[in-house]
Amino acid sequence: MLLAASLFPPLCWLFYNLFANWLETVRPSLSLIMSSQRRRWVENAVHRETPLDAILSGNLMNSVSFFASTTVLIILALFAVFGQVGSVLEAVDTVQPDQMVARVDIERHLIVALAMFGMAFLAFTLALRQFNHFCIMLGAADHDEKSTAAEIRVITALNTLGARNFNNGIRAYYFAIAMIAWFITPWAAIFMSLLIFFTILYREFFSAARNLVAGLEDDQT
């Protein structure tokens, strides 16, 4: 039960990506709708020479860099906890005395959390690299000549890929809440995983923000 509860949050995190990709074929998500706005941004950016686009691109990369750096700190902190497993075990035994949590259960849970944040770090660094390519491609566009549709499509795709990987890394933080709930009780980890799963799903596919942007898309078409 303890191992299953430890694995449940990261499995929900991974399953969300598969389920959301399928659901997007039926109902566009907020991220998918924003892709067309990213294309509008690129179409306008290649025709103007202002610092606005550099500022916006810099803000994107700064956000990703912040989370990548924070994730490294969390990974180091998790490694440090391995040296204090005894103290953690005492605290867990106090919270859930009937569960009979062993030292190996704590260590296994920390390893799963390490793997989860390791994958999140890879997602953030990939997003950072893709946003960097986006900035290079956007800077390489010649404002004196009309950009081709293929060039605009590629620049937009790089921005969209970066955003998707960034969002994937952010979701690891959401499901980390369920990993923390595991120390209270395994059932709390499962409950929080499901709650977070459906909360993110609602925000992406049914929230007021999603409906507002979707309504704007309908007006533009």
DSSP state of 51: T
**Helical axes 103-140 vs 149-181, angle rounded to 10°:** 160
Mean pLDDT over residues 145-149, rounded? 79
**How would residue 200 be classed by pLDDT, with cut points 50, 70 and 90?**
very high
Segment among 19-33, 135-149, 163-177 with least mean pLDDT: 135-149
* pLDDT of 40 over the 70 cut: yes
Q: Which residues contact 129 (CB under 8 A, 6 or more apart)?
A: none
**How would residue 75 be classed by pLDDT, with cut points 50, 70 and 90?**
very high
* pLDDT of 33 over the 90 cut: no
Choose among 25, 5, 7: nearest CA to 15: 7
Token couple for 166: 């960034």
In tens, the pLDDT along 160-197 reads 999 999 999 999 999 999 999 988 888 999 999 999 99
Say how far apart CA 163 and CA 39 lie, in whole Å: 13
Phi, psi (5° rounding) for residue 99? Answer: -85, -20
Which pTM does this prediction carry?
0.88
In tens, the pLDDT along 107-126 reads 899 999 999 999 999 999 99
Question: Is-contact 1 105, C-beta < 8 A?
Answer: no
Token couple for 216: 């704007």
